[in-house]
Structure 1
């Protein structure tokens, strides 16, 4: 029987600029593979204690809020561009800049209040604070939810929609050569799986929610757009030398490529663009070759440049609108048509995930799964790094915050 928990919902009513309200509660469920941990009270979604001092002596609360402060200019920029694109009148287009600045100011003030007293609920942000019922100080869940609420106050449900669309199109254009590269690799299925895993790490560098990654994205500029294949290969070749801090690459490649080893995998996807299309898709393709049924779980609602379940499903020609960019690889498309590759909403609307509060759809799919895969810093490192599962689990991502690398004893940009 499912274990159900309540999750405060953030709903927008009254049109694009309606008030932010939490009129009801949405049912969320516990992922079957962590039920024992939840029942024993040992499951903690967030990895880091934001109240504890960092290893270099900095105050934890200030160090973690500073991560969110550094990202404000990128969010303001994306909000302005999306408001211009969504404008229904000349006036809305003209005021896009000032409205985006209001997000930056509102979120900055919220961070000030959170840093001063994280347990004091800020009026208008009640639903965001309800994400963390422990009341033990600052948390990543609350910080992410407060930021999303500030965007919703502008009427922005998806501030990164334009960049996700652009990056998906660019990545789909070079998916063929990346798949051909994996297929043509001499050696065993294990060797091809290792290359696919390296692609996942290279793709995970595309993350506009992290200052380190957004700077890299901006520095690439026009050259990245002109030759995305060369840039992606360069990102893969320039991954830090092994061994990495937590490194099980050989063991993972061996197990994942073994025919018949895993019946069904739930893959919690992360970012749109290269992360999903050039990283996860080739990796999933290798899982399918090994006979594993794959369910891709993506966000229910937008958060930063994370892919949503609706956007993910639309990438397959079976679901996409006429003329829209789509996956055309025969193996992926046939697996989709046959039901061996499916998409489900995780129920999440944040860039991290609390696996004790997921959708009924992902719970139904996970009941028969013997492998859970968490992709990306938000889902595999900033949350769930210490979580214990009753099935096999693979957690993979790149450390893109200096504070994350510091706390784990690793290096910035290291898988």
Structure 2
């Protein structure tokens, strides 16, 4: 974990809390999220059983134990909300998502979405070259960057932890990036600082961008990597950060390194940057799909300082909405996400598939 010197990106490390909503204090949020997780855990238990059913006869039994154990702990959290609120103990969605991963591992399910991630990565890689050609055909710089941002947002739709998207993916096996581009909210977005970001791109290139990525497949390969490529073309070094441990269909740092080896076959820009170490991959120290800046590995913190990071990009609901939405940083920050949960969208003043494009200058 980071020492205090590694919090240089945070404007006020002492007051930093990653969680956007506190279920101990917000009764309306609690009345939604606790039942929501009771429903989600049924799906996660099924996924866990299916991931090992063919190779382990105990998979179904263990998945049921996982389900019961999670629900017992969830009930305990809910019973203690008033006491914990009095003690100023924060309970965010982050902790309930991390509990899911902890319980899965406890009952022998290290990575239930592994096969799904592999299938989606393979399909996305096959489409990468064509996507890059589409982007390169856009002559206007502002229009191309607009499409790059839209691509990140559309890619972020591919999240097996979001019921609104799962329903689409289960019904339409051909649902891809372009279909997702048609689904996301039209501008003006719920939080829409795109014009300010485009204006900033008229200035000097950033020295180094720290980017926290989200899901495997379409999200990272067709959404985020073209965005990364465009930063590299501007002369910006990029530190790509992915999960240390598996969580839902989020890409891990090890998987991301393997993906980049394969992506280099389709893109010389990525290949040269990867070879020259202007594109680097780091583990983010997280075991769930959210992001707590207090638990970044020391190796990553040292790289942030060494490369004089002046741009932070945080992608996805877990990292940019459930956590860090209101966090302030000393460097320029771009937070990108599609809200795939109706309650959260309405809570923030929008609707399902509303877009967060929040750009903030250095504090």
Q: What is the TM-score with the length of structure 2 in the denominator?
A: 0.90
- 1:55-134 superposed matches below 5 A: 59-84=28-53, 87=55, 92=56, 94-118=57-81
Paired residues for 1:398-413 under 5 Å? 398-413=338-353
Give the CA RMSD over aligned residues. Answer: 2.3
Deviation at 1:108, TM superposition (A): 2.1
Task: For residue 71 of structure 1, give the secondary structure of its aligned residue in structure 2.
Answer: helix
Separation of aligned partners in 2, 1:406 and 1:150: 30
Specify which of 105, 116, 120 is matched with residue 163 of structure 1. Answer: 116
The alpha-carbon deviation at position 172 of structure 1 amounts to: 0.7
1:4 corresponds in structure 2 to 3
Query: Which of these residues, 75, 82, 91, is aligned with residue 138 of structure 1?
Result: 91
Secondary structure of the residue aligned to 2:129 is: helix
Deviation at 1:208, TM superposition (A): 1.0
Task: Output the CA distance in 2 between the equivalents of 1:151 and 1:135.
Answer: 29
Give the corresponding residue for 1:208: 160
Offset of residue 304 of structure 1: 1.1
The SS at the match of 1:178 is helix
| Counterpart selection for 1:148 from 101, 117, 121 | 101
Single out whichever of 378-387 and 145-154 deviates more from structure 2: 145-154
Structure 1 residue 233, shift from structure 2 partner: 0.7
- The one-character-per-residue Cα deviations of 1:79-128 (angstroms, maximum 9, x if unpaired) are 1222236x3xxxx2x3322322222222222222221224889xxxxxxx
Q: Is contact 1:74-1:214 (8 Å) kept?
A: no
Q: After TM superposition, give the deviation of residue 384 of structure 1 in Å.
A: 0.4
Q: Does the 8 Å CA contact 1:182/1:196 hold for their aligned counterparts?
A: yes
Superimposed CA distance per residue, residues 218-270 of structure 1 (whole angstroms, 9 cap, x where no aligned partner): 1213x34xxxxxx32121023222111100122223424x4633111000011
Contact 1:260 1:292 in 2 (8 A): no
Conserved? CA contact 2:207–2:236, under 8 Å: yes
Which structure dedicates a bigger proportion of its chain to helix?
2
Check whether the contact 1:293–1:340 (CA below 8 A) recurs between aligned residues.
yes
3-state SS in 2 of match to 1:351: coil
Contact 2:184–2:338, Cα closer than 8 Å, also in 1: no
- Structure 1 gaps of 5+ residues are 6-28, 122-133, 225-230
Helix, strand or coil at the partner of 1:174 = helix
Unaligned runs of 5+ in 2: 356-363
Contact 2:51 2:112 in 1 (8 A): yes
Q: Which residue of 1 aligns with 2:315?
A: 375
- Counterpart Cα distance in 1 of 2:72 and 2:354: 33
- Give yes or no for contact 2:94–2:323 (8 Å, CA) kept in 1: no
Aligned-partner Cα distance in 1 for 2:82–2:94: 13
Is residue 13 of structure 2 the alignment partner of residue 38 of structure 1? yes
> What is the aligned partner in structure 2 of residue 51 from structure 1?
24
1:174 maps to which of 127, 135, 147: 127
Residue 120 of structure 2 aligns to a residue whose secondary structure is helix
